[in-house]
Structure 1
Amino acid sequence: MSYWICTTCGVQTDAVEVQPSTCRICSDERQYVNPDGQSWTTREAMVASGNYRTTVTPEQPRLMSLVTSPQFGIGQTAYLVAGAKRLLWDCITYLDQTVIDEINQQGGLDAIALSHPHYYATQVDWAEAFGVPIYIHQADEQWVTRPSDRIIFWSGDRLELAEDLILHRIGGHFDGATVLEWTQGDTGRGVLLTGDIVRVVAERAWVSFMYSYPNLIPLPATTVAQMASQLSTLSFNQLYDAFHRIVENDAAGAVARSATRYIDALGGTHD
C-alpha cells in the first residue's frame, strides 16, 4: 500500500496498492493532465532519490517561505507564519527529516491551513510529522484525496485561529477558497496571504483573479465583485501569493484597483 503523489499537481492520494489511473485534482478543468500522460511517485521515492530540497527562508520578522527545488508539481510556495500560533499556510509536497528538524528547532508548528485543493500536497504527512490539525473549508471537502482525522472542516466565511491569524473564505477559484489575514504582519500594518485565490501579476502593483490559471478561464465579474467586497473589510499593507510574488505596499489598494479593472475589462468598458 502506498500514498501515491501525482507528479503534475503534487497532491497525495489515500493508500492504495496500485497506482491510480487518474488524478482527481488534475482531471478538473482548473488543472490539467500532463500531455505526456499521468505519472505518480511517492514521498519515500522522492527522499531516496536525493534530488530534492525544501528550503526555509526568512521573508520578514516572523514570516518564512518554504520552497522545494528543483520545482515539483505546481511549484507553489508555502509560508510559516509565527503569529500568536505557528501556522503553516498552504503546503508543499516534499518533506524530509531535515525540514522537520529545522522547523522544530525554530518552534515547530501549531496548525496547518489551506487556501484551496491545488496545494493540499502531502498535508497529512506534514500534520502527522508535527502533530497538528489541518484547517480546510467545508465547501472543499470533496477534493480531499487523503482523508485524515487531523482535518478540521470549518464553515462560514471567517475563522479566527488566533488573535492575529484569521481565515476568510472568499470563494472564486474554488467554492471554499480561503485567504489568511495576519493582522500583526509588516510591523502591525497587516499581511494578506492568498495562495492564488488572489494572484500577484507581473506588474507588482496589480493582482488578478481566475477560475483556472493554466487553462485561462476567467471568473465572472459578479464573483470578483463579491470577492473584492469581502476583501475591502480587511486591513493589510502587503500581500504574498503562492508563487513568491509580493505587493510590498498598499496591497489593499492594489486589490481594489485590480478588481475594478478586471470587472471593467469583462464588461467591455476598460480603455
Structure 2
Amino acid sequence: MTIFSCSTCAIEHADSPSPPESCAICSDERQFLPKSGQSWTTRDELESHGYHLVVAELEPDLYSVTTEPELGIGQRGLLVRTPHGNVLFEPPGFIDEAGARRIQELGGIAAIASSHPHLTGSSIQYSHRFGRVPVYVARTDREWIRRPDEVIRLWEGEIELLPGLVMYQCGGHFAGSSVLHWPAGHAGKGVLLTGDTIAVGADRQSANSMRSYVNNIPLPERAIQRILDTVLPLGFDRLYSGFGELPADAHAIVERSLRRYVSWVRGDQPE
C-alpha cells in the first residue's frame, strides 16, 4: 500500500496499491488540472528528487513550514507556538525527517487544521508523525476528505483548537472555509491566519475572497457579507494568507476591500 499525492495540488490520498483514477480536488471547478493531465507522486519519490522542508521564523512564535522546491499549490504552512502546545495550519504536501525534527525542537504539534480542502496537504502524515494529533476539518467540507483517518475531528461554526487559538467558519471559497484567530500574535495586536478564505492582493494593500481564484469565479454579496460578519468582530492588525501577508492595518484593509467588492457586485460603482 502506498500514500499517493496528486502532483498538481500535493494533497495526500488514501493508502492504495495503485493511484486513484482522478483527484476530486483538482477536478472541481475551483481548481484545475494541467494540460498534461492527472499524475501522482509519493513521499519517497519527492525526497529522491531533492524536496525538503524549510522551517523559518516569521515573527515571535510563528514559523513558516514550506517545501523547496515549491510543491503543488505552493502554500505556506504556519506553525503557531503557544504555552499550551503548537498548531500547524495548512501543512505542505511533504514531510521529511530533518524538517520534522526541527518542528519537534520548536515544541512539536498538538493540533492540525486548514482553512479549506485545497490546503490540507499531508495533514494525516504530519498527524501520525507527531503522535496522531487531531486534524480538524469543517463538517460541511467532509466530502472533500481525500485520506480518511481516525485522527480527523469534524467541527462547525467555531472551535478553540488550543487556549488562545480559535477557528471561525466563514464560508465563501468553500462552505467550510475558515480563519484562525491568534490574539497574542504581533506583540498582542492580533493576527488572523486565513489561507484562501481571505487572500492578499498583489498590491499588498488589499484583500479579496473568491469562489475560485484561478478560474475567476466570484462570490455573491451574501457570502462576502458573511465573511465580514465573522471576522470584523475579531481583533487583528496583521494577516497571513496561504501565499502572502498584510503586515499592518489588516483589519481596516480587509473591511475596506471586501466592502468595495460588495459595492461592485451591487453595481454601485461607475463603470
After TM superposition, the score normalised by the length of structure 2 is 0.96
Q: Which residue of 1 aligns with 2:89?
A: 89
Partners of 2:65 and 2:91 lie apart in 1 by: 9
In the alignment of these two chains, the number of paired residues is: 268
Shift of 1:194: 0.1
Q: State how far apart, in whole Å, the 2-side matches of 1:253 and 1:48 are.
A: 45
Which residue in the other structure is 2:198 paired with? 198
Indicate how the Cα distance of structure 1 residues 268 and 148 shifts in structure 2: closer, same or farther if over 3 A, else same.
same
Paired position in structure 1 for 2:6:
6
User: C-alpha distance in 2, partners of 1:122/1:67?
Assistant: 12
Q: Distance in 2 between matches of 1:248 and 1:270?
A: 29
Aligned partner of residue 233 in structure 1, secondary structure: coil
CA distance in 2, matches of 1:193, 1:166: 10
Distance, in Å, in 2 between the alignment partners of 1:135 and 1:175 is 15
In the superposition, the TM-score normalised over structure 1's length comes to 0.96
Which whole-Å deviations, capped at 9, do the CAs of 1:134-155 have from their partners, x for residues lacking one?
A: 1111111110010111111112
Question: 1:128 maps to what in 2?
Answer: 128
Moved over 3 A (4+): none
Q: Partners of 1:136 and 1:21 in 2: how far apart?
A: 24
**Cα shift readout 1:146-172 (whole Å, capped 9, x = no counterpart):** 0111111112x1111223100000000
Q: SS at the partner of 1:8?
A: coil
Aligned to 1:151: 152
1:178-233 Cα distance to aligned partner (Å, 9 max, x none): 10000100011100000011000012121000001110101111210111111111
Aligned-partner residue type, residue 8 of structure 1: T
Tell me, in whole angstroms, the C-alpha distance in 1 between the residues paired with 2:46 and 2:10.
11
Quote the offset at 1:85 in angstroms: 2.5
Aligned to 1:17: 17
**Matching residue of 2:256:** 257
SS in 1 for 2:4: strand
Alignment of 1:113-262 (within 5 A): 113-131=113-131, 132-155=133-156, 157-243=157-243, 245-262=244-261
CA distance in structure 2 between the aligned counterparts of 1:67 and 1:13, rounded to whole angstroms: 20
Once residues 38 and 26 of structure 1 are traced to their aligned partners in structure 2, the CA distance between those partners, rounded to angstroms, is: 9
Name the counterpart of 1:54: 53
Matched AA of 2:97: Q
CA distance in 2, matches of 1:137, 1:104: 26
Q: Which residues of 2 match residues 27-46 of structure 1 at below 5 A? A: 27-46=27-46
Q: CA deviation at 1:64?
A: 0.4
What are structure 2's unaligned runs of at least 5 residues?
none
Q: Is the 8 A contact 2:86 2:108 kept in 1?
A: yes
Aligned to 2:62: 63
- Residue identity in the other structure for 2:214: P
Structure 2 CA distance for aligned equivalents of residues 162 and 6 of structure 1: 31
Contact 2:205 2:253 survives alignment (8 Å)? yes
Question: Deviations along 1:28-82, whole A, 9 cap, x unmatched?
Answer: 1011122111110111211233x21211010110000111111110000010000
Structure-to-structure mapping, 1:105-120, within 5 angstroms: 105-120=105-120
Unpaired runs of 5+ residues, structure 1, are none
The residue identity in structure 2 corresponding to 1:87 is V
> Which amino acid is the alignment partner of residue 146 of structure 1?
R
CA deviation vs aligned residue, 1:209-258 (integer Å, no higher than 9, x gap): 00011101011112101111111111101000001x11111111111101
Once residues 202 and 270 of structure 1 are traced to their aligned partners in structure 2, the CA distance between those partners, rounded to angstroms, is 22
Amino acid at match of 1:79: L
* CA–CA separation in structure 1 for the residues paired with 2:128 and 2:74: 22
